[in-house]
A and B are shown apart, each in its own frame.
Chain A
Amino acid sequence: MNLITSSIGQGLLWALLGLALFLTFRILNFPDMTVEGTFPLGAAITVTAITKGASPLMATFLGFLGGAAGGLITGLLYTKGNIPILLAGILVMTGCLSVNLRIMGGSNVSLLGQKTFFSAKIFQSLPRYFDSVLIGGGTIILITILIALFLETDLGQAFIVTGDNQMMARSLGINTDNMTILGLTLSNGLVGLAGALIAQNNGYADANMGIGIIVIALASIIIGEVVFGYLTLNQRLIAVILGSIIYRFVLLIVLQLGFSTNDLNLISAIILAICLMLPKLRHALKLDGILRKGVSQNGK
């Protein structure tokens, strides 16, 4: 019981990362490696700010701004500096490591005994793990509504068109460079926010906490798409959130079944690969069905 609640809470918190990557990976249509740097950046800024006496709300907002700054730099490198997007992201991600060490003054800063969102009094009376469910859920609902509203605006529509077809977007008079910069800034701001919340939930920030997180974000996007099928844009945002929760369930099941944790990365890679191949597999299976029908008809 408890563990399922905890998985839901974790899924909701990590869903922020999925939504952030959805903006760049699915809407703008390019892979943004910056996130592995801006995620610990958001965490580092927030945790350091809290230990220096800032309120959790203020610290979390600073984490968001830090992530956004990282995304802005990637965007500028890509559009103004003509550096390929993958490389620009990797450059900023690499640079972030040093910045994070400077901010934290070391490789690990602890939050134990400090005031965070999760240490608020209201959560003490609730059952365990409801703190992450409520904070994760509240944040994710707010952010999803904001993203949905943004995508409805003229600016948001121009943003979508930029990802769909750059040539057409330019012919419509949209400044695609600005749209790309906007997207990267916004997306990495959300990544910084995710880092800020998850660091508070974990109780520490660590220089190495960004390793492998891009896989988690991709997993939520892809699992959501595969499980829930064809959807409108707003529904796809929700699918990402649910995908993130399902990914946590899968991890929970793998752990509960007693697999060696050495194999965990391989198992999540296999699950993702299966999800990615599912459309193809379905196709192949349908073909099998037709073949079988054909054979039985011939048999008659």
Chain B
Amino acid sequence: MKRMLAFISAILLFLGIDLVVAPKTASQTASKSEVVHVGILQMMTHPALDQIHHGVVAGLKEEGFTTGKNLKIDFLNAQGDQSNLKTMSQQLANKDSLLVGIATPAAQALANSAPKTTPIILAGISTPAASGLVKSEERPGGNITGTSGLNPVSKQFALLHAIMPRAKKIGIIYTSSDHGGQTNAHAFAQVVKQAGLIPKMYTIANTNDLQQVANQMVSQVDAIYAPQDNGVASAMKTLVNVANNANIPVFPCAETMMPDGGLASYVISQREMGRLAGVMAAKVLRGKKPAIYPVATVKNGYYMINEKEMRKLHIKIPAAIVRAASQHGKVIK
């Protein structure tokens, strides 16, 4: 009991002191040295997110901010545990003069913890405006800007349609709790609908459901689209196995999903998106205002095709696409 009272009074005493002296110490932390401190908060370890992270560092370096010289990066990874995001983002907000958030919850936590004067750069957030992070993507209006990771769905659909002109029903599968997957899937469905075809949506709660849902799906569709979805990406092999047994091709949206058995895709590089965010971060560090710095999207992607899958499924890919993939993109042999 004594120990308890001592602990409580210690806390109260501390809070009392902090209440009195805090305004003075707050201004102290803002003092700048030659080394710029940048904090990066990543939601979890995942191939796509890791690539964004590497891209951010590369982009900063490109603009003259090198770690060890004039840049110190504080990197925290929440490992998917959102209960720690708040503590981590406060930790970063406290010591860094610029923050980078990778994946939506991480960016939201940063936006909430950081003072309105600290710039925040988004990297790989599918819908910054819909997630409430910026007012509009053209004119963010606050201390937040960055790159958006929306997939080029119309180009991806055009590719699918060029390869399979007779496909009527397009299956789209995503994890119901994955924000990115959901956004991407619905955007693609919209494009499919506009083209006069039928999108058929399938959701899984986690990767354990994939086998069964995919089996159901292949009996009802002519082609499958796999969006930017952590769950589907990690169980891509399962999806491809089921689909190939039914002679149905899978069109993934991310480069990391292609080697696992995607037939063809038009992808933007995650690393490139991160690099762009890194460049933006550097420009903001040099004084550009996030409020009037539009959210950037990576426009130029490239074709990827998988020749193994072409042979397996006896599908011909138009010569123009094969040429584009071998010249500017990637061909998996």
Residue positions of A touching B, CB distance < 8 A: 1-8, 10, 14, 94, 97-98, 101, 106-108, 110-113, 126-130, 133, 198, 201-204, 206-209, 211-213, 216, 227-229, 231, 235, 238-239, 242, 245, 248, 251-252, 255-256, 261-262, 264-265
Contact = CB atoms under 8 A, between A and B. Distances in A.
B23 A127 contact: yes
B182 interface: yes
Contact of A107 (B91, B112, B176): B176
A161 to B, nearest CB: 25
A8 B14 CA distance: 10
B81 A252 contact: no
Given A204-B108, A242-B4, A255-B87, A261 B82 contact: no
Given A2-B25, A255-B87, 8 more contacts: A8-B11, A101-B176, A127-B26, A206-B104, A207-B176, A208-B177, A231-B4, A252-B91
Contacts of B23: 127
B176 A209 contact: no
Question: Which residue, of B1, B45, B111, has the highest number of chain A Cβ atoms within 10 A?
Answer: B1
A174 to B, nearest CB: 31
Given A110-B131, A208-B80, A208-B82, A128 B22 contact: yes
Contact of B18 (A101, A127, A238): A127
Report, as a range, how many residues of chain B touch the other chain: 35 or more
Contacts of A1: 18, 21-22, 25
B191 to A, nearest CB: 19
Closest CB pairs A-B (n = 4): A110-B132, A127-B22, A203-B112, A112-B132
A108 B177 CA distance: 8
Interface majority SS (helix, strand, loop, mixed), chain B = helix
Nearest to A17: B83
A9 to B, nearest CB: 9
B330 interface: no
Nearest to B126: A108
Contacts of B115: 128
A255 B83 contact: no
Contacts of A228: 1, 3-4, 7
A52 B161 CA distance: 40
25 contacts: A2-B26, A7-B87, A94-B205, A107-B179, A108-B105, A110-B131, A110-B133, A112-B111, A112-B112, A112-B132, A112-B133, A127-B23, A198-B86, A201-B86, A202-B109, A207-B176, A208-B177, A209-B83, A211-B82, A228-B3, A238-B4, A242-B7, A255-B76, A255-B87, A255-B88
A106 B133 CA distance: 16
Contacts of B81: 211-212, 264-265
B105 A251 contact: no
Contact of B94 (A3, A10, A248): A3
A130 to B, nearest CB: 7
Contacts of A262: 45, 77, 79
Contact of A264 (B18, B79, B90, B133): B79
A38 B224 CA distance: 35
B153 to A, nearest CB: 18
Nearest to B7: A242
A213 B132 CA distance: 25
A253 to B, nearest CB: 11
A265 B177 contact: no
Contacts of A209: 82-83, 105
Interface string B52-76: 0000000000000000000000001
A145 to B, nearest CB: 15
A270 B76 CA distance: 20
Contacts of B133: 110, 112
A202 B22 CA distance: 22
Contact of A255 (B3, B22, B91): B91
A98 B206 CA distance: 12
Given A8-B11, A112-B133, A245-B11, A203 B111 contact: yes
A129 to B, nearest CB: 7
Contacts of A10: 86-87
B84 interface: yes
B3 A107 contact: no
B8 interface: yes
Interface in B84-137: 84-88, 90-91, 94, 104-105, 108-109, 111-112, 115, 131-133
A1 B177 CA distance: 37
Interface string B16-32: 00110111011001000
Contact of A211 (B7, B80, B176, B179): B80
B78 interface: yes
A87 B18 CA distance: 46
Nearest to A5: B18
A230 to B, nearest CB: 9
Given A97-B177, A107-B178, A255-B91, A202 B86 contact: yes
B35 interface: no
A4 B152 CA distance: 44
